[in-house]
Structure 1
Amino acid sequence: MAYGQFSRLAAEWIGLPNARKVEKLAMGGLRSKEILTDSPVSSAVEKIRSVDEKRAEEVSAFYIDLERSINSIAQVCSPHATICYVVGNRRVKGIMLPTDEFVVDAFRQHGFVHKATIVRNIPNKRMPKKNSPSNIAGETSKTMHEENIVICQRATQNHNF
């Protein structure tokens, strides 16, 4: 999502290759026409789609890429492995996206059990506390100020290494 703009200058300064392309190379960097169904974020994405089709495609792409990432991680986790994912539940077009629930659901599909989600304030936040996603003067929205640490443990041994 929009984190590249806050790290691009530092990445260019230290000479990282493709610093200007970080947004396109990151999860969700390319829009997707694929529709998320039966997912904790499905209804939120549909609400976004009713307001902004292009933005809904970007959001869908992020979650599709996140699910692929989780699928890859789950394939190499040992029996009874514990995973911890740190995610934020952000707003897009004023609609909350339950990323923590999405992560729990994706790992459940691989035989993991949700142990806990720890919510904490984001320490040393580098992004602004407010932004103007609508680009309308004076109209602001709070950015994420909390992160969720999702903890799941593999409960079954039916998996592929």
Structure 2
Amino acid sequence: DFSLKSKTLNSVLKTIASKDVKRAEEVAWFFVDLNDVYKQMHRVLREDGIAGIVIGNRTVKDTYIPSSKITSELCENLGFETVCGIDRNIPYKTIPLINSPTNEAGVVGRTMSKENIIVVQK
């Protein structure tokens, strides 16, 4: 069941599915699993407790996935309030700066050079 309450995610999944249904399902399951983590965070965090979530936006099948925005939407749906979002450069990456986002030989794209820190409060 991919029925997560995120308009942004639903739009992204629809775009990816128009190119590759299997890949869209993989992305959907990633966010289903991530949402389960956020549910547990909400369960164990004290009232008024604060949590920081580090996540990176990425591209799949030439479709930009704003994971930071999706994270805020998922967390707010669970009862968190988004306090702020902070963009941070990743200065010392150990993964390549380019990869093959379409999994096609010779087709390359840039990988994440920034990460986002989403601060939420219960």
- TM-score of the pair, normalised by structure 2: 0.90
Instruction: Please list every run of at least 4 consecutive aligned residues from structure 1 whose deviation after the TM superposition is greater than 4 angstroms.
Output: none
2:91 aligns with 123
1:58 aligns with 26
2:81 aligns with 113
Task: Tell me, yes or no, if the aligned pair for 2:57 and 2:112 is still in contact at 8 Å.
Answer: yes
2:102 aligns with 134
Q: Percent identity?
A: 36
Bigger CA radius of gyration: 1
Question: Which structure is richer in relative contact order (CA contacts within 8 A, separation 6 or more)?
Answer: 2
How much has 1:137 moved relative to structure 2? 4.2
- Aligned length, in residue pairs: 121
User: Separation in 1 of the partners of 2:84 and 2:114?
Assistant: 16
1:45 aligns with 13
2:55 aligns with 87
- TM-score of the pair, normalised by structure 1: 0.70
Q: CA RMSD in A?
A: 1.5
Larger strand proportion of the pair: 2
User: Separation in 1 of the partners of 2:41 and 2:50?
Assistant: 11
Listed one character per residue, the Cα deviations across residues 13-66 of structure 1 (whole Å, up to 9, x for unaligned) are xxxxxxxxxxxxxxxxxxxxx334541211111110110011011000000000
Cα distance, 1:72–1:38 mapped onto 2, change above 3 Å: closer
Task: For residue 18 of structure 2, give the secondary structure of its aligned residue in structure 1.
Answer: helix
User: Separation in 1 of the partners of 2:25 and 2:33?
Assistant: 12
